[in-house]
Structure 1
């Protein structure tokens, strides 16, 4: 409908007509015309619309329907506000954790003991939130703050590893071990020449061999701090080892790789697929990255952990760009861990201001996802509206009631 969103009772300006009363309500809005796409209809036009409209023409009935729709829309707007409040709280927690991550990495060279102590405090705080929260929701974070990828990558791997460990019902101590190891898993790269890390073309064999040693360099780095937990150290040393012995730096096999390191390896591989550091590698969408791991990681990564990660993130992880059965495009903003098949979608509607874009619950709207698409396949105006993230970062929150 070519009318401002606030000037009609429907949730969207573009929607599927399901009853004659909707048509009668549109007629009473005082607009000259609407756009109708017959090709998207799954039923033929009514042969006698006048007869079908008879019951719906009752003024009292239409007024009641209009009032009910306005009430439902007001309730939905409040639900959206609550969703945005939940998202904002998660953003604030994410930003605080990211700042703490940046601080402890910067201190690692000069005050390694202090850095490790701060990391342990950060992990303990995250673990406390995880274990205390009910109705957990995994949110897509914004990527407005440009920064060195090591902070985002390390925090991503830590948070996702801890979430999966919680879902696996690991004891609190193991959740903290994997969180601590994940925060530091790539610190060995701080000892590598920057020209290797930033090289745009493919690495030479000697350069790749040196890069493969960053877990060993990381272990040497962390040894400067006393009493670093051995279980967390295994994450640093073995997060690139594969079950079949084809990993690096030592080519270990499954029996020599701890469960904690196996989980970190799976989560690390997922995030690397989304944000590749290898020259000429194409970043995969979260949906494609999970599909790739499911298909090609057998024998290399722990399949129980891959399955649990897929279940945790949902079929369409936060950050996935999707098309709905309504023909609308949207981006997955969050996954409620108690309703994995019903992610929350921010939907493109040209008649709704971008800052008021509806975030819908698929179940309540009776919609489904028809396909996941590459962001660059979107028309430019939809791409700018949805603003797909170049960097996919996650954080969790507890959905308010």
Structure 2
């Protein structure tokens, strides 16, 4: 049976996956394409006045009934109208919920962008007004710490792509925020949360001393160039010597964020006994963010793939307890993950509530729903499940354009 075949509404069965041949605004369902889950939905579809719908056998659990066996029973008009009104009301409520989710995402993104601007300003002041720069950084981290420690209903939200000249700031904020979240989950003190936060903000500041023709090179680096870039942690420390008020306790984790437990890291090749817990934690988070966002020589990995690679390939190099904690904290499908649902639809994870990791908020592809109206839904509410994660490159072009997967995975933190 060919895909998207027309069938009579009288042939509908629970378990058939269908597409309604009318505008999204002209029916009470949240999606125009969906799998029928109960007899009430069938009656509601019949009540729309449609003769036919499109049937997708690949996404269906059952075949449609034959025309000969199709039901000819007349529905209860009163019950049907009541059901329709109920569905319209529920759809309206869902749209309101989606608008709130979008507002929350927007609010978090605005705060994230303000933090990016603040960080750019702080870095520019390090040499001319170091006291001001460090004071502003401490205030930013203190405010983030207060929010993290005082809330039990935190959510990670996917942010928009970084501009070309802002990658270092997005990366630094990602690392700082994830380190602080993990420090909270590990039960560290407020002082330690703030220390790893300010260290995360400035860990890559030394890269600003690397010539852009090396830093942004899109072909393999020469050995001298690679060795030069490997000195950037120490360049960061030298840069921060301009700021006498920068906390000394944050400097080791900045110097050591590329060091591995087995001594194979850089720039000093330190082993586990020389690396404190803050250095070991930032090394895990920095590696994860680099895997997600890649380099000029290597493309970034989907977040779920990056977590898998971290666990599989870095067991002897990074603290396994911290890797496991990062996986547990972000869940199997972190924000930015491209997923296939049990309904056969494709979606992108937009945010996760850290208390309900298996029920992320997702934006779903539906060709009959305008992109700007694409619903952001909770898997928990819709009774859907995730079948698999897949790379963005595996999506058909039209779905790729609709979901707009991020080239850079930046995360903002907010409340649900």
TM-score of the pair, normalised by structure 1: 0.94
Which among 97, 102, 122 is matched to residue 115 of structure 2? 97
- The CA deviation at 1:398 is 0.7
- The CA deviation at 1:250 is 0.9
Which among 209, 232, 253 is matched to residue 214 of structure 1? 232
What SS class does the counterpart of residue 360 from structure 1 fall into? Answer: strand
**Runs of at least 5 residues in structure 2 that lack an aligned partner in the other structure:** 1-19
Match of 2:6 in 1: none
Partner Cα distance (1:58, 1:49) in 2:
20
Partner Cα distance (1:29, 1:144) in 2:
45
Higher mean C-alpha displacement, 148-157 vs 192-201? 192-201
User: Does 1:348 find its partner at 2:365?
Assistant: yes
Q: What is the Cα-based RMSD across aligned positions, in Å?
A: 1.7
Deviations, residues 310-329 of structure 1 (Å, cap 9, x unaligned): 11111011001111111111
User: Does 1:157 find its partner at 2:175?
Assistant: yes
Superposed counterparts of 1:293-372, under 5 Å: 293-372=310-389
- The CA deviation at 1:13 is 0.3
- The CA deviation at 1:50 is 4.8
User: Does 1:6 find its partner at 2:21?
Assistant: no
Assess, with a 3 A threshold, how the Cα gap between structure 1 residues 201 and 144 changes in structure 2: closer, same or farther.
closer
**Runs of at least 5 residues in structure 1 that lack an aligned partner in the other structure:** none
Deviations, residues 6-29 of structure 1 (Å, cap 9, x unaligned): 210111100001233322221221
- The CA deviation at 1:375 is 1.0
- The CA deviation at 1:146 is 4.6
Which among 120, 126, 130 is matched to residue 138 of structure 2? 120
Higher mean C-alpha displacement, 143-152 vs 191-200? 143-152
Deviations, residues 201-255 of structure 1 (Å, cap 9, x unaligned): 2222222221111111111111221142222101210000001111111111111
Match of 1:23 in 2: 42
Match of 1:67 in 2: 85
Q: Between Structure 1 and Structure 2, how many residues are aligned? A: 396
TM-score of the pair, normalised by structure 2: 0.91
Asked if the contact 2:162/2:408 (under 8 Å) is kept, the reply is no
Higher mean C-alpha displacement, 178-187 vs 218-227? 218-227
Deviations, residues 24-55 of structure 1 (Å, cap 9, x unaligned): 2212213343111133222344478555x74x
Match of 2:300 in 1: 283
